[in-house]
Amino acid sequence: MLTVVAFALGLALLIGVHEYGHYRMAIACGVRVIRFSIGFGPVLLQWTSPKTRTEYVLCAMPLGGYVRMLDEREGEVQPAERAQAFNTQPLFKRTLIVAAGPVANFLLAIALYAGVYWSGVSELRPILASPTPGSMAQQSGLSGGEHVVSLQATGEASVAIDSYEALRWQLTRLALSKSDVEIVVQMDDQGHRKHAILLPLSQLETDARAGDPIARLGLTGPWTEPVVGDVVAGGAAQQAGLTSKDRVLSVNGTAVMDSQQLRALIRAGTTPDGQGVPQRWRIQRGGQMLDVEVVPRPERVETQWVGRIGAYIGSPPDRVWVSKDPVSALMAATEKTWEVSAMSLGMLVKMLTGEASLQNLSGPLTIADYAGKSASVGLTPYLLFLALISVSLGVLNLLPLPMLDGGHLMYYLYESITGRPVSELWLDRFQRGGVAILLGMMFIALYNDVTRLLG
């Protein structure tokens, strides 16, 4: 139920803002608006302004919306009202009215991002867990425990990193653009032992079929302390004498840096035929150093055996409160909106050129799923989700497809160059082609949605 409500409210807001952009610009340009509608299907609420005679409508299916303006191409227009018809407006006014919808979505995203950045949010500290063995991150010199303070891509200015989420976003963006990046890390809170590590992201495969680019890089998450948490009665951990809050220092003589590495060592504690392999753990309990023997119990996972000890491993990751002053929040929000727009457009181009898989295309089912998940976590994640979708909606509507705002802007560009509008014959052809492309995109997106939801 939360998913349905979060999806419906979010979509109604995003579509309402988009259509309101068209509506306000039309009014400002002197065009009469006949109907302002959010959604399709049965009418739930309806009101007509006695002053402007505009009909405001809320329908049952908030999967779209429209602003119907006075237009001689859609019906008879009284001579006294002809100056208020959309089709009689000069080119620059028609362009402003059409572009106002996507612009409204970008402005909404900036407002949402700025509000979150200003109010502040608790985020994970950018301290790296042990990288995947043999990965690019490990080969570049990362071992776990490094605190990332900044990064700089080739040809770009240095960017300060204040959270793990910010680090992940920047690395994802740079991986998709195939940019090498130098990250500056330190090994303690005093800033000592600060040094730079080069990550050759230009060599990283970013196709959707290859998986998450951050996982491909070898980054497994934020650093957490290698401690034992709750112990399951009768499990291997209890039989070995482990208790909650025991800190693991080494396994079979190998120093343990964090919980990620410890979990990997536990999983590796079996033979190929499913026998547990005894491990010698050195732990710290209070002020004492103890040696214990732990025998992971094998568990079949798909085609291989992995070790389990029946205990929660790792402490909660460190968090930091991130907030900005109003001016900095607005600047960061504008930059974020620009980066998300550029990355979204870049991904669309890669899908068209075959450099990225069409599996990256998501539809309403995935959006609804993430709407519910973000809303269940809290208001801030939900607002960030809405900002992301608002940017995506703005970018999508600017695509040069005849059914979208970008298609109309393409017509106006042609008109500005040639001095005449596109002929009715070509308008009809473009319209048919645009419908076919949009239906194809919708089919692929829904197919990807179903595939993801079914696992």
Active site residues: 19
Q: Give every CB contact of residue 409 below 8 A, 6+ residues apart in sequence.
A: 95, 98, 99, 398, 400
Cα distances (angstroms) measured from residue 340 to each of 237, 302, 381:
45, 37, 16
Half-sphere exposure of residue 435: CA atoms within 13 angstroms, side-chain side? 5
3-class state of residue 33 by DSSP = strand
Determine the residue type at 224.
T
CA–CA gap between residue 231 and residue 238 (Å, rounded): 6
Contact predicate 7/367, CB 8 Å = yes
Torsion angles phi and psi, residue 388, rounded to 5: -60, -45
- Degrees to nearest 5, angle at CA 308 with 138 and 254: 40
Contact predicate 398/406, CB 8 Å = yes
CA–CA gap between residue 360 and residue 350 (Å, rounded): 10
Q: Which of 197, 166, 130 is nearest to 320 (CA)?
A: 166
CA–CA gap between residue 175 and residue 169 (Å, rounded): 10
3-class state of residue 266 by DSSP = helix
DSSP 128: B
